[in-house]
Amino acid sequence: MKATFGAGCFWCVEHEFQKIKGVTSTAVGYMGGSMKNPTYDDVCTDQTGHAEVVQVEFDPSVISYANLLGVFWNSHDPTSMNRQGPDVGTQYRSVIFCHDQGQEKEAIQSKEQLQNSGNIKKKIVTQILPAHEFYKAEEYHQQYYTKCGIV
């Protein structure tokens, strides 16, 4: 199964999901914009509407979508509009792209539970949207931390 998340710089997000048992593969790329086949340079203009995302392939018999949502919520600040740390722009927005109605329902429930938990004082700004076409990022972005010896 697939899950797609945007939570800031896709290098960081991919690294978080690669560590999870049951995640069978990850790929970083772009989703949610209007331009076909965007490049990193295109997306960095903040004019294409794409978010930097990680697409996660997972084995639901090992890890549930709900658990992946937990990783997503814990890997970034979902109250920060179009920004994560030093990265600023709509391409760094907090977004869950749902591949089916089941994922959409779980994502909405998960967001509501987190907002109502009292653990987050500000309003969660995470978008929950239907999955769009995924454009895989350039090869040098894939498993970036591993390639650079950061992990």
Q: Which of 9, 12, 44, 98 is catalytic?
A: 9
3-state secondary structure of 22: coil
Is 9 noted as a catalytic residue in this protein?
yes
H helices of the chain, in order, are 10-18, 40-44, 65-74, 101-116, 144-147
| 42, burial (CB in 10 Å: exposed 0-12, middle 13-18, buried 19+) | middle
Query: Residue 72 in contact with residue 5, Cβ under 8 Å?
Result: yes
Active-site positions read 9
